């Protein structure tokens, strides 16, 4: 059986994180999203086909021709948009598994999908089905059709982009019309398939991490920390006078260090060469990537810090994503809570979007530099290479 991973889209909802790299290469718990997907599917297939387009070189250069000895073939999507268009250059002659490249599935769910004797699609029961593509099923659990964001949903079973299908799906994606959104949708091809094959809705068993917005990265990191028991893992260099909460998960990679006087109040993951301290305060779930430096009297709370980023001293960053090669100078503060304590809104594709979170700070992308004492309002973003002046307030 072959697997097809859809990894071609630009994913504007994740801007500015996808400003300089494709979304599948955005890291979650220290690995690109696509690597999590490949690790999940690789044991069950003999070949992987990845459909690429946006910043495709970043994907091809990272995974090259194989993943753990499973061959990889790359197919470039044409200029036509949509999940249906993504399959138009794919050629296989046997049953196939199709997965979204921006979603992390559990190994057990993928195993259940592939082990199913016939064809199937993973389905997740959701509270607000009108926000999803929803399956209409019969009494045997066979799918009759999928309806995109229906006003009167026929069920609560949402399509989450994990399919085991006959090769005929690759024929029908050439027969579908363009949708009102201006895209060729895989769901239109599926509705043709449902009239010809018995395809079952397979209930989701485990985790489903859809990294659709930046704050989903923080949620995913929290999930991965729960897979560890409390304790200290890996090669560590912890200086004297460091306090670590007994219930915390602390993961230290080679060359990382926690310096004296630091307090680790909750979970911390330091990648290679990352340093924390002296006198830093770490709480909630913090991931610091390769060769980054968290310096004197810096407080981090539920934060991702990218590669080669510097937060030298006397700053507070909460509920935020700070990417690669960023410099955050003395006294900079990210506010993560509105005074009225309402949900934080974030600008997505030119529209303010409710994060659903009372606490969310900011997103700072590659190469940005903050002047001393920069203050950032909740829900703001700073684009790649952008700078702020000393004492600037980012409203």
Q: What is the pLDDT of residues 283-338, one digit of tens each?
A: 989 999 999 999 999 999 999 999 999 999 999 999 999 989 999 999 999 999 99
Q: What is the pLDDT of residues 235-283, one digit of tens each?
A: 778 988 999 999 999 999 888 999 999 999 999 999 889 999 899 999 9
* Per-residue model confidence (pLDDT) at position 19: 67
pLDDT, averaged across the chain? 90
Catalytic residue set: 313
> Rounded CA gap, 371 and 356, in Å?
30
Give me 152's structure tokens: 């009167």
Contact assessment for residue 92 and residue 145, using Cβ atoms and an 8 Å cutoff: no
Q: Name the DSSP class of 43.
A: G
Rounded to an integer, the average pLDDT of 161-173 is: 92
Q: CA 121 → CA 88, 93, 124, 142, distances in Å?
A: 20, 19, 10, 10
Superfamily of domain 2-212: Spore Coat Polysaccharide Biosynthesis Protein SpsA; Chain A (3.90.550.10)
CB-count burial class (<10 Å; 0-12, 13-18, 19+) for 82? buried
Look at residue 254 in the predicted model and tell me its pLDDT. Answer: 87
278 cis-preceded (ω within 30 degrees of 0)? yes
Question: Distance (Å, rounded) from C-alpha 124 to C-alpha 366?
Answer: 35
Asked which of 48-57, 161-170, 222-231, 339-348 is least confident by mean pLDDT, the reply is 48-57
- The pLDDT of residue 374 is above 80: yes
Task: Determine how many CB atoms are found less than 10 A away from the CB of residue 355.
Answer: 20
Q: At what angle do helices 33-41 and 56-63 cross, to 10 degrees?
A: 50
User: Which tokens is 287 given?
Assistant: 């991931």
- State the chain's maximal CA–CA distance in angstroms: 68
CA-CA distance, 371 to 387, in Å (whole number)?
Answer: 7
Position 12 pLDDT exceeds 70: no
Q: Which residues pair with 37 in a beta bridge?
A: none
Q: Which superfamily, per CATH, for 218-394?
A: Hexapeptide repeat proteins (2.160.10.10)
Q: What is the mean pLDDT of residues 84-91?
A: 87
* pLDDT at site 63: 81
Q: Are 282 and 300 in contact (CB under 8 A)?
A: yes
Question: Is 108 a residue whose pLDDT tops 80?
Answer: yes
Per-residue pLDDT at 69 exceeds 90:
no
CB 347 within 8 A of CB 331: no
Are the C-beta atoms of 215 and 380 separated by less than 8 Å? no
Is 352:309 a contact under the CB 8 Å cutoff?
no
Delimit the domains of the chain by residue range.
2-212, 218-394
């Amino acid at each position: 059986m072959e697997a097809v991973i859809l990894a071609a889209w630009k994913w504007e909802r994740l801007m500015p994180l996808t400003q300089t790299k494709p979304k599948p290469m955005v890291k979650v718990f220290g690995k690109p999203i696509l690597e999590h997907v490949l690790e999940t599917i690789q044991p069950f297939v003999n070949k992987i086909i990845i459909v690429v387009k946006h910043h495709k070189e970043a994907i091809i250069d990272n995974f090259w021709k194989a993943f753990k000895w499973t061959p990889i073939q790359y197919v470039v999507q044409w200029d036509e948009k949509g999940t249906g268009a993504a399959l138009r250059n794919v050629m296989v002659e046997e049953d196939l598994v199709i997965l979204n490249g921006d979603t992390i599935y559990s190994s057990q769910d993928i195993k259940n999908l592939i082990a199913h004797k016939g064809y199937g699609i993973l389905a997740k029961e959701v509270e607000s089905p009108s926000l999803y593509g929803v399956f209409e099923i019969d009494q045997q659990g066979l799918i009759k059709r999928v309806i995109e964001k229906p006003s009167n949903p026929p069920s609560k079973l949402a399509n989450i982009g994990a399919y085991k299908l006959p090769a005929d799906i690759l024929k029908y994606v050439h027969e579908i019309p363009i949708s009102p959104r201006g895209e060729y949708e895989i769901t239109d091809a599926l509705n043709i398939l449902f009239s010809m094959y018995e395809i079952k809705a397979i209930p989701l068993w485990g985790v489903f991490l859809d990294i659709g917005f930046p704050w989903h990265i923080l949620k995913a990191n929290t999930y991965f920390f729960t897979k560890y028991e409390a304790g200290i893992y890996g090669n560590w260099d912890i200086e004297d006078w460091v306090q670590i909460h007994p219930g915390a998960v602390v993961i230290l990679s080679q060359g990382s260090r926690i310096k004296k006087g630091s307090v680790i109040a909750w979970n911390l993951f330091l990648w290679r060469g990352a340093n924390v301290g002296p006198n830093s305060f770490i709480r909630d779930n913090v991931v610091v990537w390769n060769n980054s430096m968290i310096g004197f009297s810096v407080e981090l709370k539920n934060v991702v810090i990218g590669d080669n980023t510097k937060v030298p001293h006397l700053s507070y960053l909460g509920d935020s994503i700070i990417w690669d090669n960023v410099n955050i100078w003395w006294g900079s503060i990210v506010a993560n809570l509105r005074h009225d304590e309402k949900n934080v809104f974030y600008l997505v594709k030119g529209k303010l979007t409710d994060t659903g979170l009372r606490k969310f700070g900011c997103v700072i992308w590659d190469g940005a530099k903050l002047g001393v004492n920069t203050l950032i309002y909740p829900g703001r973003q700073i684009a790649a290479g952008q700078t702020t002046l000393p004492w600037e307030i980012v409203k």
